[in-house]
Amino acid sequence: MNIDKIKKMIMPFVTDAGKRNKLLFVIAGIFALFIIKEIVFKKHAPQMPPKPVQTAVAYTKDAPVYIESFGSIFPPEDVNIKSQVEGEIKEVHFKDGQDVKKGDPLFTIDPSTYQAQLAKTKAQIVQDQAELNLKRTTLERNKKLLTDKLISQQQYDQYQTDVDSSTAKLVLDQASAELANINLGYCHITSPIDGRAGKRMVDPGNIVSANTGPTLVNIKTIDPMHLDFTIPERDLPRVRQAMDAGMLKVAFTVQGDDKNSFEGDIIFLDNTVDNSTGTVMMRAKCDNAKRMLWAGQFANIHLILNIEKDAVLVPYPAVQIGQAGQYVFVVGADNKVELKQVSIGNRQGDDIVIRKGLSKGERVVTVGHLGLSPGAKVEDLTAEQQTKDQGPKTKK
């Protein structure tokens, strides 16, 4: 309250000098009472109690530096089995979802037609061989007659032509027999790879066409598996540097299984940047001996570039965001908080790396940030909360 302002507001309306002096005396008294009230109130005003918080101590450990991405798991070999000959499916030699080895029988196509074709071509070969032998004998016999000039050169050339023609026919029939034998082999369809069979798509008794018919079954390799993913173009220099140093690794989890983590080795970095997305495709090879990875699964990926030694970590909830960036509240020995601006790194589970602004051993607020300000006094309830979380101890 400003007494001079009050006087300027009231004095123009009071013309009598005596009344004016009395009024000034009253105003001065009111002002004095107001000052006394303010002093007494401040002296006896209740102090703000310490704000309850929970804290954690910053610690150090080796922490991976990584790039986050996502990708899909797929088999290195994925084969659709089709019939290479036309015929009726006679037998199926596997069950849906069965593991198969390379060379294991899958289907049998009716071989009778192809067995007959092979027998026919073999008989034709025998006939051709007999004819060729006869014509060779005739040629040899007439060679002497030609020397004695008992036959003409033209007649002798005809005998030679007959031998050449029979030789060609024999070769042709031998090729036909080989083709018939190949087709007969195609009647017995086997697995071309080690893997796992999918659902059988065609049942026994159906007639299938050669090459253009339906897929009979799909076979996919199970171990190992491939993991395809992309990285932003801006991270390409760091990735190439880590790859050249032999430090690049992949750690990932799959949807629905956050308890198990998997690892892989980088085997491929694409030779171009996708201009439509600004990303580069990469591929990792992953061991799957325990059959825990499945083709088509979605994966959350950490592409590990290197290991940061003795990194400072705090629980992730300790880091807050303000107008000046990330910060933490540090609790001092007098239980008063201090605001510190920090620079953060990668998350490590429930914790996060603090790259700048915090040292090992400092105590930071993890719960109770609302209403805190620099210099505020706090009460640390961490131990009490941990006791509650553990529950009451049962007597034995």
Domain definitions of the chain by residue range: 3-44, 52-61+310-390, 66-76+221-308, 81-218
CATH of domain 81-218: 2.40.50.100
CATH of domain 52-61+310-390: 2.40.420.20
Question: Residue 111 phi/psi, 5° resolution?
Answer: -90, -5
d(CA 101, CA 107): 14
- The span from the CA of 96 to the CA of 218, in Å, is 10
Ramachandran region of residue 335, left (φ > 0), alpha (ψ -120 to 50) or beta? left
What pLDDT, on the 0 to 100 scale, is given for residue 19?
A: 59
* pLDDT, tens digit (0-9, with 9 covering 90-100), for 266-279: 999 999 999 999 99
Radius of gyration of the chain (CA): 46
Average confidence (pLDDT) over 161-188? 90
If 0-12 CB within 10 Å is exposed, 13-18 middle and 19+ buried, where does residue 248 land? buried
Structure tokens at 312: 């400072």
**Region label for 13, one of left (φ > 0), alpha (ψ between -120 and 50) or beta (otherwise):** alpha
What CA–CA distance (Å, rounded) separates 327 from 338? Answer: 10
Rounded Cα distance, 63 and 60, in Å: 9
Q: Using the predicted structure, report yes or no on whether residue 36 has a pLDDT greater than 90.
A: no
CATH number of 66-76+221-308: 2.40.30.170
55 in Cβ contact with 289 (< 8 Å): no
Cis before residue 315, ω within 30 degrees of 0? Answer: no
CB contact at 8 A, 337 and 378: yes
- State the CB neighbour count (10 A cutoff) for residue 20: 14
pLDDT, greater one: 146 or 236: 236
The more confidently predicted of residues 132 and 102 is 102
Q: What pLDDT is stored for residue 47 in this prediction?
A: 64
Q: What are phi and psi of 256, to 5 degrees?
A: 85, 0
Please determine, for residue 14, whether its predicted confidence score (pLDDT) is greater than 70: no
pLDDT band at 396 (very low <50, low <70, confident <90, very high): very low
pLDDT band at 237 (very low <50, low <70, confident <90, very high): very high
Contact between 362 and 57 under an 8 Å Cβ cutoff? The reply is yes
